[in-house]
């Protein structure tokens, strides 16, 4: 099996992933309620322009515009019969931009959650979820993606279904979760549990981590939990991803505005390195300007001591959520519905 992501981590040590998709597309004319995935055919130059801005800012990894590209999500826009073509188009656009770069840039095929509840709480079965994810991933593979990037997960059942689909493609894969509920995912997974899930899979993912959530400090706290011991520690075999929102979302008028400045995101990148992350990027609200500041920070920062919570707060602000210190075991199974989308 080709190992482009593992090889690039070994070569460069720490990689910079890209920034936000949805929030940047809104600035480019996407309307609320529209599916960004349709832009892969309707507005390809805008999609390429966003990818290019991230590459020019210094990204080592760009994610395809396919977060909601599975049939369960596309059916909300009557696009359930266009899964393969939309994912293939998205991967081709990202591949074209990556190939223009003067350094190696990897294309990661973004795969978000289905938005459906698993049985017995809902109607989604494991088999149906694997089919949905596999269908999407085959389109990404055909379009030239280097690695499958499963993100913003909240339920173990969905992680395992997506991982099974990724394994069937014969490609490297990554998965991340959003720990936005008192330091857990919506369905109760703790950051340390994520490494145990990864270790139980065969083959395991190259990397696991945290994305989205409620702010940089909360996400860094999750990263510290992942890198403390086990397969995602500094001595473990699985790398850790940190892809935080650009500060904390705030409602101003009818808009959602993210509080993070380029300076804050640069400091976040440094603290992510100190916390043990090997792949660092931005999620909702992160622009190319933020990413460029993160690139400079990563290029000049030497890994320091593992930070305490106080250092995180001093660097990137107060925790938004009260962190739960209860049992590390997740809640009972059932799967999770996530109404929003990664932006």
CATH classification of the domain holding 156: 3.20.20.330
What residues are designated binding site?
A: 212, 283-284
CB 17 within 8 A of CB 241: yes
- Structural domain contains residue 333: no
Residue 336 clears pLDDT 60, i.e. is over it: no
- What was the pLDDT predicted at 257? 81
Taking 3-state DSSP, the helix, strand and coil percentages for the chain, each rounded to the nearest 5, stand at 45, 15, 40
Q: Are 249 and 266 in contact (CB under 8 A)?
A: no
> Tell me: the pLDDT tens digits for 218-260?
999 999 999 998 999 988 999 999 999 998 877 777 777 888 9
**Residue 334 covered by a domain:** no
Q: Binding-site residues for Zn(2+), please? A: 212, 283-284
- State how far the Cα of 68 lies from the Cα of 25, in Å rounded to an integer: 14
Provide the pLDDT for residue 333.
33
Q: How many whole angstroms separate alpha carbon 304 and alpha carbon 70?
A: 40
What value does the mean pLDDT take over residues 97-109?
98
- The residue with greater pLDDT, 333 or 3, is 3
> How far, in Å, CA of 110 to CA of 94, rounded?
11
Burial of 329 by CB count in 10 Å (0-12 exposed, 13-18 middle, 19+ buried)?
exposed
Q: Is residue 341 part of a domain?
A: no
Alpha carbon of residue 36 to chain centroid: 16
- Nearest Cα to Cα of residue 68 among 92, 96, 34, 43: 34
On whether residue 337 sits in a domain, the answer given is no
Percent of the chain scoring above 70 in pLDDT: 94
Residue with tokens 């085959």: 138
Full residue range of the structural domain in which residue 107 is found: 4-316
Strands 255-258 and 249-252: antiparallel
Among 9-13, 175-179, 247-251, the range scoring the smallest mean pLDDT is 247-251
Position 99 in a domain: yes
Q: What is the mean pLDDT of residues 196-205?
A: 97
Q: How many residues does the chain have?
A: 343
144 token code pair: 């030239």
Check residue 52 and give its pLDDT. Answer: 98
DSSP H stretches of helix in the chain: 4-12, 22-27, 39-42, 44-57, 71-74, 83-100, 126-143, 156-169, 191-199, 216-227, 262-274, 288-300, 309-316
According to the model, what pLDDT value does residue 328 have?
34
**Tens-place pLDDT, residues 84-96:** 999 999 999 999 9
Residue 123 has pLDDT above 50, yes or no: yes
CB neighbourhood size of 102 (10 A) = 6
Residue 304 lies in a domain: yes
Residue 342 lies in a domain: no
Q: Span 179-199, mean pLDDT? A: 95
Contacts of 58 (CB under 8 A, 6+ apart): 16, 291, 292, 294, 295, 296, 299
Percent above pLDDT 90 for the chain: 86
Separation of alpha carbons 313 and 318, rounded Å = 5
Q: How many domains does the chain have?
A: 1
Largest distance between two CA atoms of the chain: 51
Residue 332 has pLDDT above 70, yes or no: no
What's the rounded Cα separation, in Å, for the pair 254 and 206? Answer: 40
Tell me the HSE value of 246 on the side-chain side, using a 13 A CA sphere: 29
The dihedral sign for the CA sequence 150, 94, 284, 244? positive
Position 255 scores a pLDDT of 73
Instruction: Give dist(CA 173, CA 109) in Å, integer.
Output: 9
Facing residues of 208 across strands?
175, 240
C-alpha span between 110 and 34 (Å, rounded): 18
């Amino acid at each position: 099996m080709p190992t482009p992501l593992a090889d690039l981590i070994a070569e460069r040590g720490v990689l910079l992933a890209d920034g936000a998709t949805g929030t940047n597309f809104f600035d480019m004319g996407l309307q609320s309620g529209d599916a960004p995935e349709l832009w892969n055919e309707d507005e390809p130059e805008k999609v390429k322009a966003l990818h290019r801005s991230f590459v020019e800012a210094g990204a080592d990894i760009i994610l395809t515009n396919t977060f909601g590209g599975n049939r369960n999500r596309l059916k909300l826009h009557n696009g359930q019969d266009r899964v393969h073509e939309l994912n293939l188009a998205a991967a081709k656009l990202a591949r074209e931009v990556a190939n223009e770069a003067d350094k190696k840039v990897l294309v990661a095929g973004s795969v978000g959650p289905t938005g459906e509840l698993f049985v017995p709480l809902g109607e989604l079965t494991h088999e149906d979820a694997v089919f949905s994810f596999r269908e999407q991933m085959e389109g990404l593979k055909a379009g030239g993606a280097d690695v499958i990037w499963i993100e913003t997960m909240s339920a173990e059942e969905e992680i395992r279904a997506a991982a099974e689909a990724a394994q069937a493609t014969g490609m490297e894969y990554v998965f991340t979760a959003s720990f936005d509920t008192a330091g857990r995912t919506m369905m109760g997974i703790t950051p340390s549990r994520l490494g145990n899930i990864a270790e139980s899979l065969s083959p395991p993912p190259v990397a696991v981590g945290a994305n989205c959530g409620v702010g940089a400090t909360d996400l860094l706290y999750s990263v510290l939990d992942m890198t403390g011991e086990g397969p995602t520690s500094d001595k473990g075999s699985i790398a850790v991803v940190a892809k935080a929102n650009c500060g904390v979302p705030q409602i101003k008028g009818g808009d959602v505005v993210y509080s993070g400045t380029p300076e804050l995101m640069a400091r976040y990148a440094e603290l992510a390195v100190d916390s043990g992350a090997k792949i660092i990027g931005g999620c909702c609200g992160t622009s190319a300007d933020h990413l460029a500041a993160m690139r400079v920070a990563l290029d000049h920062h030497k890994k320091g001591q593992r930070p305490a919570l106080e250092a995180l707060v001093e660097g990137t602000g107060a925790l938004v959520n009260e962190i739960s210190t209860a049992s590390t075991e997740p809640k009972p199974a059932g799967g999770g519905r996530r109404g929003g989308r990664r932006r």
